[in-house]
């Protein structure tokens, strides 16, 4: 056989083999490229953004938002969008609109109208940076709210800050007793779920709301009587169950025989709209401009939120619960601060700092503070304050100074309970830089519910020890520069508490079994 033909044949075979391998390699390469493309599509554009500020401008009519970004805009139209969300809107599905658009860059600034007082009001909105992949928006930042609602406030009067921290929940027919004691702080409850009704029409953001005239005029009489005497009024906003106002309660919440009050609702459009209207109405009504209506200076949104018995929505993990509460809290905060710039807004905790925790219905006060603060730091920090209830532990004995024997009181941040026995632990914790206000100050802390029983289950009547507890606890508060107010829970013993063997009032009551 001709050797050339053999070589030629071998060469042909070799070429064929090489072509086959080349095809295989090409197939592998094509498969890898397809996989990479699919992965890129799944992951979306590799862009990260952070909203660094979201502020109402000095003109009070527009908003400026600043965004920093980094990454690769491949797969997008090259534009960084700013999209508005209401508190009840959790994603951008189906959205085509935007509040601002700019070419992608490391630092981008947007400016747009505030539209305050209209159906398009942005005062309560949050904003998110997003890119467009050709079919939909993809969020590339955390949402961020406007953080200076006080910029549009009509009332810029200084906060009514008395020279004394002494406070009491007062019976209106016993005002003379309160004056004799030198009381300058007073608390009053507002039943949020009873505001809607008939008799008062209120226009807000293009809608008309109807409020119960009788209920409101009762509050007028109480609040004006107190603030008219120079007292700093603290209002506790409580959301009870009312079958006539289901939108005021967080969606899906069932009525519970164990719940006194319920979580506010900013999670649905109807709930958000009604909540902001009521909050704005209360802020305007009690801004101090009408002496017949009075002035509220401190606003506490809910009661003892670390225990769902007072803020019920059903079993929930800590982060989800605090996020839902903060969404509603921010609605109140924005409504109040946009009317009276120097009013103060608080959330409330009982004394269980690291105690009675199941992270479903009961949460540690410390964990609530940590979580509330961390969420606000990302979504727009507020000048929130803390309302605290440092009762003795147990509440059936007034001598808080020996509460350490229960094992619940320690001198460190992990103390199960914080009360008057270790009150400095609370203020030391809040004085840390991570928890300070946007201006760098220690946040406002008020003690809005505390009391000491004059009856002991083992010793009977012990009014002298109760008096000693009043005096010593007030001395501790007066010596602590980070506590603004000390409000005793009762001027007169409450019948229900007396039935339980407790007598927290400064004054006793006639009580007959039966």
Are 119 and 194 found together in one domain?
no
The predicted structure's pLDDT at residue 504: 76
Are 306 and 443 found together in one domain?
yes
The mean pLDDT value for 403-427 works out to 98
User: CA 146 to CA 152: how far, in whole Å?
Assistant: 12
Are 171 and 91 found together in one domain?
no
Convert the pLDDT of each residue in 365-382 to its tens digit.
Answer: 999 999 999 999 999 999
The H or E element that residue 429 is part of is helix 423-430
User: CA 495 to CA 296: how far, in whole Å?
Assistant: 28
**Domain final residue, candidates 146, 180, 198:** 146
Q: DSSP readout, 113-135?
A: E--TTSTT--TT-EEEEEEE-SS
The predicted structure's pLDDT at residue 19: 35
| 300-to-76, 188, 310 alpha-carbon distances in Å | 45, 10, 13
The mean pLDDT value for 324-337 works out to 99
Convert the pLDDT of each residue in 95-141 to its tens digit.
Answer: 999 999 999 999 999 999 999 999 999 999 999 999 999 999 999 99
Residue 313: both structure tokens together: 């929505």
- Least confident piece of the model among 40-54, 77-91, 473-487: 40-54
In the block, tokens 């009489």 appear at 221
Q: Contact 127/84 with Cβ under 8 angstroms?
A: yes
Q: Bridge-partner residues for 145, per DSSP?
A: 126
- Least confident piece of the model among 61-75, 320-334, 452-466: 452-466
18 within domain boundaries: no
Q: Contact 331/386 with Cβ under 8 angstroms?
A: no
- Least confident piece of the model among 24-28, 97-101, 146-150, 445-449: 24-28
Q: Contact 305/368 with Cβ under 8 angstroms?
A: yes
Strands 460-461 and 455-456: antiparallel
User: CA 494 to CA 178: how far, in whole Å?
Assistant: 17
The alpha helices in 186-317, defined as continuous H runs, are 213-227, 269-285
Closest CA to 194 of 211, 182, 178, 177: 211
| 54-to-309, 335, 381, 384 alpha-carbon distances in Å | 35, 17, 10, 17
The mean pLDDT value for 139-155 works out to 99
User: CA 443 to CA 383: how far, in whole Å?
Assistant: 7
Peptide bond into 232 cis (omega under 30): no
39 within domain boundaries: no
The alpha helices in 118-181, defined as continuous H runs, are 175-181
Torsion angle in degrees (nearest 10) through CA of 212, 214, 217, 223: -90
Contacts 24+ apart (CB under 8 A), 240-245: 240/191, 240/192, 240/193, 240/194, 241/193, 242/193, 242/194, 244/196, 245/193, 245/196, 245/274
Are 59 and 197 found together in one domain?
no
In the block, tokens 């700019």 appear at 102
Are 139 and 156 found together in one domain?
no
Closest CA to 256 of 308, 191, 323: 308
Are 101 and 239 found together in one domain?
no
Q: Contact 455/464 with Cβ under 8 angstroms?
A: no
Q: How confident is the model at residue 385 (pLDDT cuts 50, 70, 90)?
A: very high
Handedness of CA 355, 357, 362, 366 (dihedral sign): positive
**Domain final residue, candidates 121, 146, 171:** 146
Are 222 and 114 found together in one domain?
no
The predicted structure's pLDDT at residue 508: 63
The predicted structure's pLDDT at residue 181: 84
2 within domain boundaries: no
Are 459 and 490 found together in one domain?
yes
324 within domain boundaries: yes
Are 184 and 94 found together in one domain?
no
CATH of residue 135's domain is 2.60.40.10
82 within domain boundaries: yes
CA 107-64-301 angle, 5° bins: 120
Burial class (CB in 10 A: 0-12, 13-18, 19+), 177: middle
Length of the chain (residues): 514
Are 125 and 214 found together in one domain?
no
**Distance between first and last Cα of the chain:** 126
CA 128-130-136 angle, 5° bins: 125
41 within domain boundaries: no
CA 341-305-303 angle, 5° bins: 65
345 within domain boundaries: yes
The SS3 call for residue 207 is strand
User: CA 313 to CA 321: how far, in whole Å?
Assistant: 9
The predicted structure's pLDDT at residue 134: 94
* pLDDT at residue 175 greater than cutoff 60: yes
Q: How confident is the model at residue 481 (pLDDT cuts 50, 70, 90)?
A: very high
Closest CA to 55 of 381, 408, 464, 497: 381
Q: Give me the number of domains the chain comprises.
A: 2
* pLDDT at residue 18 greater than cutoff 70: no
Are 135 and 251 found together in one domain?
no
Q: Hey, which bits of 248-355 come out as E strands?
A: 298-301, 344-349
Are 140 and 225 found together in one domain?
no
The predicted structure's pLDDT at residue 258: 95
**Domain final residue, candidates 115, 146, 177:** 146
Range of the domain at 78: 46-146
């Amino acid at each position: 056989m001709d050797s050339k033909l053999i070589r030629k044949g071998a060469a042909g075979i070799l070429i064929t083999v090489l072509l086959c391998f080349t095809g295989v390699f090409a197939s592998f390469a094509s498969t890898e490229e397809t996989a990479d493309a699919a992965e890129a599509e799944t992951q979306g554009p590799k862009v990260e953004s952070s909203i660094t500020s979201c502020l109402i401008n000095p003109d009070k009519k527009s908003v400026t938002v600043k965004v920093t970004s980094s990454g690769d805009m491949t797969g997008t139209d090259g534009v960084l969008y700013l999209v508005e969300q209401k508190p009840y809107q959790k994603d951008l599905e189906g959205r085509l609109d935007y509040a601002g658009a700019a070419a992608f860059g490391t630092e981008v600034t947007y400016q747009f109208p505030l539209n305050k007082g209209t159906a398009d009001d942005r005062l309560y909105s949050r904003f998110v940076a997003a890119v467009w992949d050709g079919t939909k928006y993809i969020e590339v930042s955390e949402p961020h709210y406007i953080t200076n609602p006080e910029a549009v406030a009509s009332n810029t009067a200084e906060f009514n800050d008395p020279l004394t921290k002494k406070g009491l929940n007062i019976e209106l027919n016993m005002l003379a007793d309160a004056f004799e004691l030198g009381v300058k702080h007073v608390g009053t409850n507002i039943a949020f779920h009873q505001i809607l009704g008939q008799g008062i029409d209120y226009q807000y953001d293009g809608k008309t709301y109807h409020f119960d005239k009788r209920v409101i005029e009762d509050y007028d009489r109480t609040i004006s009587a107190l603030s008219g005497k120079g007292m700093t009024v603290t209002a506790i906003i409580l959301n009870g169950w009312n079958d006539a106002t289901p939108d005021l309660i967080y969606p899906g919440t069932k009525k519970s025989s164990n719940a006194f009050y319920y979580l506010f609702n900013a999670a649905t459009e109807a709930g958000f709209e009604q909540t902001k209207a009521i909050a704005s109405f209360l802020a305007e009504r009690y801004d101090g401009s009408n002496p017949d209506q009075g002035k509220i200076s401190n606003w506490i949104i809910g009661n003892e939120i670390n225990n769902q018995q007072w803020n019920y929505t059903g079993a929930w993990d800590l982060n989800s619960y605090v996020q839902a509460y903060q969404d509603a809290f921010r609605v109140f905060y924005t409504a109040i601060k946009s009317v009276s710039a120097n009013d103060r807004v608080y959330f409330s905790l009982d004394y269980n700092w690291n105690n009675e925790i199941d992270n479903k219905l009961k949460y540690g006060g410390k964990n609530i503070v940590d979580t509330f603060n961390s969420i606000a730091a990302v979504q727009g920090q507020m000048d929130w304050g803390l309302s605290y209830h440092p009762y003795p532990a147990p509440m059936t004995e007034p001598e808080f100074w020996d509460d350490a024997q229960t094992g619940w009181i320690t001198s460190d941040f992990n103390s199960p309970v914080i009360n008057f026995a270790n009150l400095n632990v609370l203020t030391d914790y809040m004085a840390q830089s991570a928890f300070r206000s946007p201006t760098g100050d220690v946040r406002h802390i008020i003690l809005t519910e505390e009391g000491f029983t004059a009856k002991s289950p083992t010793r009977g009547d012990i009014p002298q020890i109760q008096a000693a507890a009043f005096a010593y606890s007030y001395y501790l508060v007066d010596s602590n520069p980070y506590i603004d107010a000390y409000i005793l829970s009762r001027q007169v013993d409450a019948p229900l508490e007396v039935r339980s063997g407790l007598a927290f009032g400064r004054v006793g009551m006639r009580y007959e079994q039966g």
